[in-house]
Amino acid sequence: MNALVATNRNFKLAARLLGLDAKLEKSLLIPFREIKVECTIPKDDGTLASFVGFRVQHDNARGPMKGGIRYHPEVDPDEVNALAQLMTWKTAVANIPYGGAKGGIGCNPGNLSVSELERLTRVFTQKIHDLIGIHTDVPAPDMGTGPQTMAWILDEYSKFHGYSPAVVTGKPVDLGGSLGRDAATGRGVLFATEALLNEHGKSIAGQRFIIQGFGNVGSWAAQLIHESGGKIVAVSDITGAIKNSEGIDVPSLLKHVNENRGVKGFSGGDPIDPNSILVEDCDILIPAALGGVISRENANDIKAKFIIEAANHPTDPQADEILSKKGVVILPDIFANSGGVTVSYFEWVQNIQGFMWDEEKVNNELRTYMTKGFKDVKEMCKTHDCNLRMGAFTLAVNRVARATVLRGWEA
C-alpha cells in the first residue's frame, strides 16, 4: 500500500474518531497549493539540460509550511503529496507552529557536478522565491540534498529579499544553522523511546535493540542508545547486515562505517541476510531506512515487543493489524521521528531572534518537547480508547481542525 493511501486512511480514521464534519474533513485533505516549474541550466559541457522542480504546500492553518526538498530521479507526485500531508500532522503532534510541505527536483544528483547542482538549485530558487519565505514556507534538506544545498537557496533567496537566514533550516552552522541539528532526529528517537519505555516501567539500559538502516538517523540513534546502556544486537544498511547477540561495539562500528562506507565486513559481528534483520530476536526494533519494510509477509515473524518508527511509513496497515493483535507496541513515525523538524523549528526561532543557543539548550528543549508530545499522545489514546498511531493522528488532526475553524476557514 503506498504512502498516500495509508496516510489518507489514518487521517480518515482519526477524523471519524473526532467526529469531524464531512466538509471540514475534505478541506483538510486538499493541498493549499501545488507548484511545478521548469529548471533549465547549462551543463559543464555547454549543453542545456531541463529538470522539473515542484513544491506541494499542504496546510498553513497553524503557521508557515515546512518540509524537505529532495533531489531524486523518481519523484512520484502521490508520494510528495503524502509526505507534505504527513508534515502537517507531524508538526501538529510536536506542537510546533507549522503546517506541512514537501518538494524537490526530478534529477539524479550523482550524475551532476557540484557546479551543476549549484546552478540547478539557484534556478529552482529563482522560480519559487516568491512562494517560499520565513513566514510562508520554510524548506529543509531531504534525500539527495544537505547543508550546502540550503546555503545556495539562502544565498539566492537573499538576493531578492535581503539576508534571510530563517528561510531554510538544516543550514551549515556558519550560516545560522543550529548546533545539535545533525543528531536531532536520532536524539529524538532516543527521547521518544525513553518516554515509551518509562510508561511500561522499563528503561533503555539492558534492552536489546535492532536498528535497520544506518544512515544519519540510524547511526545517531545507535550511538545515543549505546551511551544510555542499551544493547545493539543487530544493524543493517544497504551494504549488508551484522549481528552480535552480546551487543555490538557501536564506536568501533561507526569508525568502520566511516572508513568503509557501510557496515559490511565489520569484524565485531557475524554477517546475516539483510532481509532477515527485522525478524531477529530483540526487545526493540527500530526501522530507520525506507518505508513499507514491515508488511503482512514478515509481521508474524517479528519478535520485538516494541517498534519505534524512525523511518517514514515503515509499517503498512495490514502489518499494523497483525502486530497489534500480537500485542506489539508501535510508536508511530509522526511522533517518533519528529526530533528533526523540532530542532529545525529551534533553528528558525534562533535565526528570527538573531540569538543562537548552545548545544545543551537545544538538546534540553528537544527532550522537553518530545516528553510533552508523548504525554499528549497518551492523553488522546485514553480519550478515544485507541493505539498510539491513532492517538498521534487524532491529536494532530484535532489541532489542525481547531486552528482551521478558529481562523474562519471551514467550508
Numbered residues of the known binding site? 66, 90, 185, 216, 344
Per DSSP, helices labelled H in 129-246 are 147-161, 184-199, 216-227
Vertex 408 angle, CA 335 and 27, to 5°: 55
> Which 3 state secondary structure label does DSSP give 47?
coil
Annotated binding site for NAD(+): 185, 216
For the chain, the residue count is 411
Pairing of strands 284-287, 99-106: unpaired
Of 380, 377, 336, nearest to 192 by C-alpha is 336
Q: What single-letter DSSP state applies at residue 282?
A: -
Residues 178 and 362: their CA atoms lie apart, in Å, by 8
Could you identify the residue written with the cell 551549515?
A: 172
The residue type at 258: N
372 is catalytic: no
Binding-site residues for substrate: 66, 90, 344
First to last CA, the chain: 30
* Residues linked to residue 102 through DSSP beta bridges, in sequence order: 56
What would the grid cell of residue 267 be?
A: 569484524
Question: What whole-number distance in Å separates Cα of residue 245 and Cα of residue 79?
Answer: 37
| Amino acid at residue number 399 | R
Spot the catalytic one: 43, 102, 372, 375.
Answer: 102
**Helix H or strand E segment including 116:** helix 114-128
With vertex at residue 181, the alpha carbon angle to CA 277 and CA 360, rounded to the nearest 5 degrees, is: 110
- Catalytically active residues are 102
